């Protein structure tokens, strides 16, 4: 996604024969790949390892916690 998405930018720089555009495209692609490796990837790795919270929590003082397969207000 991050590498193929920059093909139009490289193409535009080449079609217009812009050395500045080519350098800017290289800088932008390097910056987004650096952001991905330093920020985005570690964030998703932490989310993947995080323990999942239960969808339904028991009511304090209840002798029978609610079942996960019954909707609120329905009899189990």
Model confidence over 10-37: pLDDT tens digits? 999 999 999 999 999 999 999 999 999 9
Considering the entire predicted model, what is its pTM? Answer: 0.55
Tokens 């692609």 sit at which residue?
A: 29
Nearest to 2 by CA among 32, 31, 23: 32
- Residue 39 CA to residue 26 CA, distance in Å, equals 20
CA angle centred on 36, ends 21 and 31, rounded to 5°: 25
Query: pLDDT band for position 75 (50/70/90)?
Result: low
């Amino acid at each position: 996604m991050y590498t193929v998405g920059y093909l139009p930018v490289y193409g535009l720089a080449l079609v217009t024969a812009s050395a500045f555009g080519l350098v800017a495209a290289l800088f932008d692609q390097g910056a987004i790949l650096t952001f991905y490796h330093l920020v985005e990837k570690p964030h998703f790795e932490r989310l993947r390892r995080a323990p999942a919270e239960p969808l339904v929590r028991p009511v304090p003082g209840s002798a029978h916690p609610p079942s996960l397969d019954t909707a609120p207000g329905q009899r189990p």
